[in-house]
Chains A and B, each alone.
Chain A
């Protein structure tokens, strides 16, 4: 259960939130269960419970069950407000701004990862260093998808013409399952990838080995990727300059004042 037993700081906070909220709700839910079955047993027709057919309102009692849920929701609401701001996927994990950037493109039906700081790219798998905040900049050249690595933290939608940032970080080395969570057509079920978190040294070695490779992500290669279909994993040693910007920009209006 990667959601409840996570491997990343964001996912850990999210799972703690799930547990906290569940415990809070049990304050109301358990009495409901208890009262339901207790009353059902106690006041069954053949039972000995008192019968008061016309007892139909009590201002005091009603006040209690308006007040108790209101208070719990107030607490949950406060928890929601703070946790939503804390877990805002757009918020940098570390204030220094030293995050590693991975640009993600959801394609029909594959995931393309570009590493602008290293000039390399990968298809259908991604590698990141552990203990490092990573900023995924997510877009799509396809119908809406959702980028989700349950072990590291919550998802965000991948949409054409938008860059949706998602900040994650991995605690320990390992292979984590990543998927698209939003249905995007026939090949959707195949739209998953492996995220490998490696120690800084292993990661650097990996980058160097990719750079030694031959594959180049040029415009024609990218065009071929846009054709709907499933693909294997590929590593590209070089990437055509400005590719990501143009992938996003193709959907935007150059002259429109709405563009930010």
Chain B
């Protein structure tokens, strides 16, 4: 038994210049960051005020910072993908190898979903939910901190793969048998499994935490049907996490057993069934989409009334629609694999169930529109994001319904039409929704608003960039271009170049947003906002009594660090390390109750 498992000095050798560049960058950035912290003397402050904090607001901010950092990584991946496809029209093969391209598109998807979108919504939820239900904090502050640090551990594992070994090259959902040992012998898929396994546990803990908070800690007199819409949609989203993530845990564990212990769940040999993986992972994967988008629906239900100076139209309908979406999202997962060969009955039933989700979603949109009706609409940036959201989301919704008709899906599935569709939903829904919520609630926490002029610039650049980057992909899909191609047919090149320009515009938008933050902080005196700058009637804006400082603990962060080590041990088959990390975490987790019995 080797002490270092399968890890050897060769594991550090990267094959391409781009990969080596990334490796050096991560090492330099990590050591640079740590050295700066130590020598600038901020480490102590950081530790005391932030890293060990159990305050939901600070945890929320740290989630957002994590999402920001990982977002930069995800965008860098996107840039590599877009430039490769724009330049690699045959006979040219671009600058990335097929394997490296595959690693990048896999990492891009994983990072954007698990380490950008999820932290973004958990960040917002952490910041706002306790204020909205007017409770002192969440139900389990320690578990809240633990969730954060486990998510960070997962994110670190993904980035560690840049330095040691490589990341999965089997796509963001690694279908077997490609992801089995026979076809993916490296550690890439194992990194994937453990990064997601750890982040998945974090999400599950958060879900329990926020459900308990919302159900048991609402302020006196706030009945369920008095809850603000953001609280309602968060409730729906967290119920989905609670019941969907165990399926992810199962499917990843089984894949790991196949790979590490020679079992046969999803292999094509000895009776394993790869289709079962596809079935199970989408039983998680579809609800996951609604986990991401539901809270942002809630954000718009807060933003639209505020800026229309009017009450939200059809509160009861909104609640019913939210819960309908929650329940329906568990009934549709087959639409991700209509083309696997199930019979017409199965496909039709799940196709129709999928379309049914368009009903409550449509109702929500009409309710927002009729909140604007006979209002006094002020177009501050959050409201602009809403306009951008509806305009793009309706397109995405229509293409989504197309994909849910099996007969049409046979021609659209796995093409870049599909890629355009889900980016349409995630960017138009989740990203724009987040920006609306972020701009809207920012003054509540910072005491000043964000610069409006730069905000509007960012908005227009984002919308333009999005349209330029993704509308061509719809057309390319209809031209028969499949996803995940590292070299492309020359006839597709012009539109791919347009898409790359679109990405450049999005990058410019992100740059403007960073500038907006910096400028706003510098002009905070001028942008100073009272306790309720938008004149909202929602409960989170009412002044709160000062909160007594919660006590701090570094235990959660230590468990996070151990989870990273344990995951690393699992990836490299250093079983002793994994067991040790688990045992120490268990002790750390068990000990506190002994102290205050």
Q: Does A133 contact B (CB under 8 A)?
A: no
Compute how far the CA of A156 lies from the CA of B410 in the bound complex, rounded to whole angstroms.
7
- Closest-by-CB residue of B relative to A70 is B359
A90 interface contact, C-beta 8 A:
yes
Q: Are B408 and A32 in contact (CB under 8 A)?
A: no
Cβ A84 vs Cβ B347 within 8 A: yes
A142 to B367, CA, bound (A): 50
Given contacts A52-B310, A181-B415, A182-B175, 7 further A-B contacts (CB under 8 A): A21-B401, A54-B311, A80-B355, A84-B406, A87-B410, A157-B341, A186-B102
* Cβ-based interface call for A79 (8 A): yes
**Can you list 20 pairs linking A and B with CB atoms under 8 Å apart?**
A3-B477, A39-B369, A39-B373, A43-B374, A52-B310, A53-B376, A66-B359, A73-B359, A80-B404, A83-B406, A143-B178, A146-B339, A155-B414, A159-B341, A183-B170, A183-B175, A184-B178, A186-B102, A253-B271, A256-B271
Indicate if the CB atoms of A144 and B274 lie closer than 8 Å.
Answer: yes
Q: Report if A13 contacts B (CB, 8 A).
A: yes
B480 contacts A87, C-beta separation under 8 Å:
no
**Which residues of chain B are near A77, meaning CB under 8 Å?**
352, 355-356
Cα A189 to Cα B269 in complex, Å, equals: 26
Select the stretch in A56-64, A96-104, A124-132, A210-218 that faces chain B. Answer: A56-64
Q: How far is A101 from B475 in the complex, measured between Cα atoms in Å?
A: 33
Q: Which of B5-13, B445-453, B482-490 is found at the contact surface with chain A? A: B482-490
Give the interface of A toward B (CB within 8 A).
Answer: 1-4, 11, 13-15, 17-18, 21-22, 25-26, 28-29, 32-33, 35-36, 39-40, 43-45, 49-57, 61-62, 65-66, 69-70, 73, 76-77, 79-81, 83-91, 143-144, 146, 148, 150-151, 153-157, 159-162, 164, 177, 179-190, 251, 253, 256
In the complex, B344 has a CB within 8 A of chain A: yes
Interface residue from B308, B310, B347, B358 paired with A73 (Cβ < 8 Å) = B358
Does B554 lie at the interface of the complex (its beta carbon under 8 Å from any beta carbon of A)? no
Residue B141, interface by CB 8 Å: no
Would B407 and A154 count as touching, CB distance under 8 A? yes
B420 → A minimal CB distance (Å): 13
Chain B, range 165-182, C-beta contacts under 8 Å to A = 169-171, 175-178
Is B38 interfacial (CB 8 A cutoff)?
no
Q: With A and B bound together, what is the CA distance between A4 and B480 in angstroms?
A: 10
Say whether A186 contacts B99, CB under 8 Å.
yes
Set of chain A residues within 8 Å of B377, measured between Cβ atoms: 39-40, 43-45
Query: How long is the Cα–Cα vector from A95 to B23 in the complex, in angstroms?
Result: 60
Best-surrounded residue of B397, B398, B406, B415 (most CB of chain A within 10 A): B406
Enumerate chain A residues within 8 angstroms of B308, measured Cβ to Cβ.
43
B374 near A49: Cβ-Cβ < 8 Å: yes
Do residues A162 and B341 form an inter-chain contact, with CB atoms below 8 A?
yes
With A14-B408, A88-B343, A181-B413 in contact, is A56–B309 under 8 Å at CB? Answer: no
In angstroms, Cα B309 to Cα A51, docked, is 9
Query: How many whole Å from A193's CB to the nearest CB in chain B?
Result: 13
B315 within 8 A of A: yes
Smallest CB separation, A190 vs chain B (Å): 8
B365 interfacial by beta-carbon distance below 8 Å: yes
Contact status B478-A73, CB under 8 Å? no
B381-397, CB < 8 A from A: 387, 390-391, 394, 397
B199 within 8 A of A: no
Any chain A CB within 8 A of the CB of B412? yes
- Inter-chain CA distance A184–B174, complex, in Å, is 10
- Complex: A132 Cα to B98 Cα, angstroms: 38
B541 contacts the other chain (Cβ, under 8 Å)?
Answer: no
Minimum C-beta distance from A63 to chain B (A): 10
Q: B343 touching A144 by the CB < 8 A rule?
A: no
Question: Closest approach, in angstroms, between the C-beta of B178 and any C-beta of chain A?
Answer: 4
Q: Which of B98, B373, B390, B475 is within 8 Å of A188, CB to CB?
A: B98
Contacts of B315 in A (CB 8 A): 56-57
Q: Answer whether residue B55 sits at the interface, using C-beta atoms and an 8 A cutoff.
A: no
B34 on the interface (CB 8 Å rule)? no
| Closest CB pairs A-B (n = 3) | A154-B410, A143-B178, A150-B480
Instruction: Assess whether B539 is interfacial by the CB under 8 Å rule.
Output: no
Q: How distant is the Cα of A97 from the Cα of B396 in the complex, in angstroms?
A: 41
**Which of A43, A144, A182, A183 sits near B375, CB closer than 8 Å?**
A43
The answer to whether A144 and B480 touch (CB under 8 A), given A69-B359, A84-B407, A155-B410, is no
* A36/B387 in contact, CB under 8 A: yes
Whether B50 is near chain A, meaning CB under 8 Å from some CB there, is no
Complex contact B478–A3 (CB within 8 A) = yes
Instruction: Tell me which of B169, B170, B373, B410 has the highest count of chain A C-beta atoms within 10 A of its own C-beta.
Output: B410
Chain B residues near A179 (CB, 8 Å)? 480, 482
Contact B268 A251 (CB under 8 A): yes
A154 touches B411 (CB 8 A): yes
Whether A84 contacts B311 by the Cβ 8 Å rule is: no
CB of B415 to closest CB in A, whole Å? 7
Q: In the complex, are the beta carbons of A39 and B177 less than 8 A apart?
A: no
Q: A1 and B475 in contact (CB under 8 A), knowing A83-B407, A89-B341, A179-B482?
A: yes
Q: Pick from B99, B370, B373, B412: contact of A3, CB below 8 A.
A: B412
Residue of A nearest to B305 (CB): A56
Within 8 A of A (CB), among B261-287: 268-271, 274-275
B485 x A150 contact (CB < 8 A):
no
Q: Is there an interface contact between B372 and A43, defined as CB atoms closer than 8 Å?
A: yes
Beyond A53-B311, A187-B98, whether A32 also contacts B411 by CB under 8 A is: no
Asked whether, in the complex, the Cβ of A161 is within 8 Å of the Cβ of B268, the reply is yes
The CA of A76 and the CA of B370, in the complex, are separated in Å by 26
Q: A73 to B324, alpha carbons, bound, how many Å?
A: 15
- Bound CA–CA A61/B198 (angstroms): 47
Does residue B316 face the partner (Cβ distance < 8 Å to A)?
Answer: yes
Q: How far is the CA of A44 from the CA of B383 in the complex (A)?
A: 11
Known: A2-B480, A76-B401, A146-B414. A52 touches B313 (CB 8 A): no
Report Cα–Cα, A83/B402, bound state, in Å: 13
State the CA gap A114–B350 with chains docked (Å). 34
**A22-B398, A40-B372 given; A148·B482 CB < 8 A:** yes
Q: Are B376 and A43 interface neighbours, CB within 8 A?
A: yes
Give the complex CA separation of A45 and B268 in angstroms: 64
Please state if B175 and A144 are interface contacts (CB–CB under 8 Å).
Answer: yes
Contacts of A88 in B (CB 8 A): 343-344, 347
A164 proximity list for chain B (CB < 8 A): 341
Flag if B482 contacts A180 (CB, 8 Å): yes
Q: How many angstroms between the C-alpha atoms of A251 and B272 in the bound complex?
A: 9
Give chain A nearest CB distance to B167 CB in angstroms: 14
Task: Judge whether B70 is part of the interface by a CB distance below 8 angstroms.
Answer: no
Q: Are B359 and A18 in contact (CB under 8 A)?
A: no
Q: Which residues of A contact B317 (CB under 8 A)?
A: 57, 62, 66
Please tell me if the beta carbons of A53 and B310 are within 8 angstroms of each other in the complex. yes
